[in-house]
Amino acid sequence: MILALSRTELTLLLRNKTAASLALAMPLLIGALLMVNGPSGWTFIIVLQLVMMLGFTVYMTVTTSLVGRRQDLYLKRLRTGEASDQVVIVGLLVPTIVLGFVQAVVLLGMSTIAGAPLPERPLLLLLAVAGGAAMCCAVGVATSGITSTPELAQITTAPFFFALFGGAIWTLVSDSVDYRMMLVPGGQVAELVKAAWGGPTDNVGLAVVSLVVWVAIGAALAVRHFRWEPRS
Amino acid sequence: MTNPVIQVEGLRCSYGDFEAVRGVDFEVAQGELFGLLGTNGAGKTTTLEAVEGLRKATRGTVRVLGSDPLADRRAIRPRIGIMLQDSGFPGDLTVAEMVAFGQSISSRTSDAATAIEALDLAHRRDVRIKQLSGGERRRLDLLLATLGRPEVLFLDEPTTGLDPESRQHVWEVVRGLLAEGTTVVLTTHYLEEAESLAERIAIMHEGRIAVAGRVSDVLARQPARIGFDVPAGFDVSVLPMLYGDVVHEPSGRVEVRTGELQRDLGELLDWARGDGRVLTGLRANHASLEDVFHAVRSDEKVMSR
């Protein structure tokens, strides 16, 4: 049943040109531009590419598409069927997560071809991508609950979106990384990616804890705020 | 009622401080069509949502096929079909894709082509849903709710906004399901729909059931009507003694509301023949559900005065 929901959701994502270009073209384009103009070393480029993927492809797509499906009263319909509430939500999230992973692979492939070294600790890279995607999904579901129309999603997604970028850049430019940066979403992702490419591992534990906490916060807010039908 | 498929007892539902359903009881037997009628805001949809397991009751109990529709959702959903009053589609899918998707998330087996044909959507099967007319969308909605013939079908205003032809189509499909043994609960504010499909009805008003029973019994409790045109300056005192109430309307028409239709009609016809009158625009009919509806509403007005 999850597969059926996901397949339909993927079809819908790809048929909506705005959503598809936001989720697919944007991060790839900017990711490519970063490589051309990237004077700051490969870690910097790869962190920004992955954060871009998390922000655009996962976080914004999850929020916007859930709000759109709710607006279309499609969520309400799905709720009348046999699938449980959890299955419906997971079914709708899977395509976005898959798109995010595919994009991560493509971006890393592009960087590798352009001369980036391979990660020394690939597990940490996987953790950054998977944990970051989980966090963005959870917070995205929560954000959709407080967003009444797909247009408004551009505003409601801004705080977390910028926190994600801000946290990543803060961590990248700081000479000594401490717990404050690890608490910001994006900060932990950046730290894990840095560690994957041979950076210091002192903060890895804290970064993982922070990711787990952010997923928990997002999930709690999602349970509290998620709505199946538009406010009437 | 032996082994009712649906049992509702003392159902109450609130939205914050507002109590939309204020103590509703009814039962629906296997294979019957039960009509839930009422004005907008009477609480029909809220009642139905509680029975479907989409809304938690504040108080009271609901049993569908012997189980709690909310707690035993997993067991009940494969056996029921739900057509909401307002439910949407992903507009970018085609009709055929939507039906295939509906099949893939249902454990009931069904034949897509037959279902599409039955609701007269075969010529639209490759059209995207956003390009369908309102009536076509509503038929697709019914198609999805009835895929694989559920044991119990809930229809919330299935024909609202449909043209007469589409409405007939929907009625035919519903009759077909009834003939195969499906139990149907239908809400509507089209009285002729309830008259033509329902065996038993309940009329809701302000969160309660005001009138309930077999359609024929509910109608029999209301006076019948006789009406005819009279010339200007007509004096109603020349009419024979009638059992019912006589109203001389300013439009130049006499309306009789009577519990003794045959007797009063006979008196009137005798009088007209004796007087050599032609009763133009003569009509005699049983109460309609519309009359029952109005009676429910005017009772309420009297009580609130």
pLDDT digits (tens, 9 = 90+) for A173-219: 888 888 888 999 999 999 999 999 998 999 999 999 999 999 999 99
Reported as a single tens digit per residue, the pLDDT across B251-288 is 889 999 998 999 999 999 999 999 888 999 999 988 87
d(CA A58, CA A100): 6
Best mutation target, B72, B87, B152, to test chain A (most A CBs within 10 A): B87
Q: Which of A15, A72, A83 sits opposite B105 (nearest CB)?
A: A83
B88 touches chain A (CB under 8 A): yes
Cβ contact, residue pair A77, B88, below 8 Å: yes
| A84: pLDDT strictly greater than 80 | yes
Inform me whether the C-beta atom of residue B70 falls under 8 Å from chain A C-beta atoms.
no
Are A1 and B105 in contact (CB < 8 Å)? yes
CATH 3.30.70 domain position(s) in chain B: 223-286
Most confident of A15-24, A189-198, B31-40: A189-198
pLDDT value of position B250: 87
User: What are the pLDDT digits (tens) for B204-254?
Assistant: 988 999 889 998 888 888 889 999 998 888 888 889 989 999 999 888 899
B75 vs chain A: nearest CA distance in angstroms?
A: 9
Q: Name the residue in chain B with its Cα closest to that of A9.
A: B90
- Tokens of residue A27, six digits: 């991060």
Q: Which of A74, A80, A82 comes nearest B78 by C-beta?
A: A82
Q: One-letter amino acid identity for B79?
A: R
Do residues B227 and B283 lie in contact, with contact meaning Cβ atoms separated by under 8 Å? yes
Sheet holding B6-15, edge to edge: B18-28, B6-15, B59-64
From B39-43, B145-149, B299-303, the region with the lowest mean pLDDT: B299-303
Higher pLDDT, A5 or A115: A5
Model pTM score:
0.87
What does the domain layout of chain A look like in residue ranges? 2-225
B2 in contact with chain A, both atoms CB, cutoff 8 A: no
Work out the mean pLDDT of chain A and round it to a whole number: 92
Q: Is the pLDDT of residue A39 over 60?
A: no
pLDDT of residue B233: 83
Q: Confidence class of residue B304 from pLDDT cuts 50, 70 and 90?
A: very low
Q: What is the CATH number of domain B6-219?
A: 3.40.50.300
Distance from CA of A74 to the nearest CA of B (A): 5
Quick: pLDDT tens for A129-153.
999 999 999 999 999 999 999 899 9
Residue B38's contacts (CB-CB under 8 Å, 6 or more residues apart) are: B44, B187, B189, B203, B204, B205
Is B92 in Cβ contact with A16 (below 8 Å)? yes
Q: What is the pLDDT of residues B131-169, one digit of tens each?
A: 999 889 999 999 999 999 999 999 999 998 888 888 988
Residue A17: what pLDDT? Answer: 84
Q: Tell if the CB–CB gap between A74 and B90 is shorter than 8 Å.
A: yes
Min distance A71 CA to chain B CA atoms (Å): 9
Tell me the C-alpha distance between A156 and B88, whole Å. Answer: 24
Say what the pLDDT of residue B288 is: 78
Give chain A's contact residues with B (Cβ, < 8 Å): 1, 4-5, 8, 11-12, 15-16, 69, 72-74, 76-84
Residues of chain B with CATH 3.40.50.300: 6-219
What DSSP designation does A56 have? Answer: I
- For residue A76, list chain B residues with Cβ-Cβ distance below 8 A: 84, 86-88
CA distance A189 to A175: 17
Nearest CB to B91: which of A8, A72, A83? A72
Task: Please report the number of interchain residue pairs, chain A to chain B, with beta-carbon separation below 8 angstroms.
Answer: 59
Residue A169 in this model has a pLDDT that exceeds 90: yes
Asked if B101 is an interface residue toward chain A (Cβ–Cβ < 8 A), one would say yes
Among A4, A69, A72, the residue with its CB nearest the CB of B101 is: A4
Percentage with pLDDT > 90 across chain A: 77
Contact B10/A at CB under 8 A: no
Q: Six-digit token pair at B243?
A: 């059992």
Q: What average pLDDT does the segment A48-71 reach?
A: 94
When the pLDDT of each residue in chain B is averaged and rounded to a whole number, the result is: 91
SS3 at position A16: coil
Banded model confidence at residue B41, pLDDT cuts 50, 70, 90:
confident
Query: Would you state the CATH architecture of domain B223-286?
Result: 2-Layer Sandwich (3.30)
pLDDT-derived band at A38, boundaries 50, 70, 90 = low
Residue in B74, B84, B93 nearest the CB of A80 = B84
Contact residues on chain A for B144, CB-CB shorter than 8 A: 77
Flag whether the ipTM exceeds 0.85: yes
Nearest to A215 by CA among A138, A124, A154: A138
pLDDT over 70 (residue B303) = no
Q: Burial code of A92-103, b = ≥16 C-beta within 10 A, e = fewer?
A: bbbbbbebbbeb
- Cβ atoms of B57 and B18 closer than 8 Å: no
In A3-39, which positions are buried (b, 16+ CB within 10 angstroms) versus exposed (e)? ebbbebbbbbbeebeebbebbbebbbeebeebbeebe
